[in-house]
Amino acid sequence: MKYLIFGKGYIAHKFKDFLGEKAVISDVRIEDYSAILEELKKQQPDVVINCAGKTGKPNVDWCEDNKMETIFSNVVAPIILARACENLGIYMTHVGSGCVYEGDNEGNGYSENDEPNFDGSFYSRTKAWSEDMLKEFPVLQLRLRMPFDSEPGERNFITKITKYPKVISVPNSISVIEDFLKASVKLMGKRATGIFNMTNPGTIDHKEILDMYKEIVDPLYKYELFSVEEMERITKARRSNCGLSSKKLEDEGIKMRPIHEAIRDSLKRYKENLDRQRKV
């Protein structure tokens, strides 16, 4: 099985590290239809994984000020890629986002059939638009959410939030990267299509995560909480906080670990990786 990955960022490299020799990361920009066709013919992949998109640097507020670029990469370009894959009969997977909801659907979590209800950021709106368009085609759409990673790094959720001076605490669905990658590749193996919530079952709030971080990684770490309203006074766009249902994935026979167990395990490995980095 050969995987061809588009986009050269954080998630693309996570897939590459997980898939190893079986995967190639392409240099091609996905707004360029002829370049994509040429690349697909050259690489002859069984599976295309679209990890290209504008996520905003340093954060999604960037998308509020760069709407044309955001819409081009998050909505137009995935359709161009889907067209090329359809023309050559190649199976396509697209990394979408769970940040299209707010709330937790009265404790049930939002399912893939629920209409997105969060439009507080331009980034989230583009993710909902592309999702809506791609669902017309036989594309697997993986709704990733707040990726939690055992390798320290500036894109890692835990590395990021432990550097913030103040943190909100709201229950959320989270994708623990290791579980996300395993489950995604299983879905690709089954040639699944349609939208899937790729989050670990259950929700967890920031306070619970930071308390675990204090216990497992750094007993001296201190944090200060503030309210969502206070945070919204300093950000340009609102942020999605939501609970998603993982039932559809489970119905496919694919299980991710419960969120508290997966985060605890991830933090233990985060600590080991941190200690290893400090020794080098």
The interface region with ligand NAP, picked from 50-58, 59-67, 206-214, 238-246 by CB under 6 A, is: 50-58
Residue 116 binding ligand NAP, by CB under 6 A: no
Strand runs labelled E in the chain: 3-6, 23-25, 47-50, 91-97, 139-144, 194-197
* Least separation in angstroms between CB 162 and ligand NAP: 16
Residue 8 binding ligand NAP, by CB under 6 A: yes
List 4, 63, 75, 95, residue binding ligand NAP (CB under 6 A)? 95
List 3, 6, 62, 122, residue binding ligand NAP (CB under 6 A)? 6
Length of the chain: 280
* Least separation in angstroms between CB 34 and ligand NAP: 14
Residue nearest to ligand NAP (CB): 9
**H or E stretch covering 271:** helix 259-279
Residue 100 binding ligand NAP, by CB under 6 A: no
Take residue 41 and report the two structure tokens written for it. 């013919």
Residue 197 binding ligand NAP, by CB under 6 A: no
Residue 54 binding ligand NAP, by CB under 6 A: yes
C-alpha distances in Å from residue 236, one per residue of 63, 134, 149, 239: 10, 28, 26, 10
Alpha helical stretches, state H, 111-205: 122-134, 157-161, 177-189
Residue 109 binding ligand NAP, by CB under 6 A: no
Q: Report d(CA 130, CA 50) in Å as an integer.
A: 12
* Order of strands across the sheet that contains 3-6: 23-25, 3-6, 47-50, 91-97, 139-144, 194-197
By CB under 6 A, the count of residues binding ligand NAP is 23
Query: Given the rule CB under 6 A, which residues bind ligand NAP?
Result: 6-12, 29-31, 51-55, 73, 77, 95, 97, 127, 144-145, 147
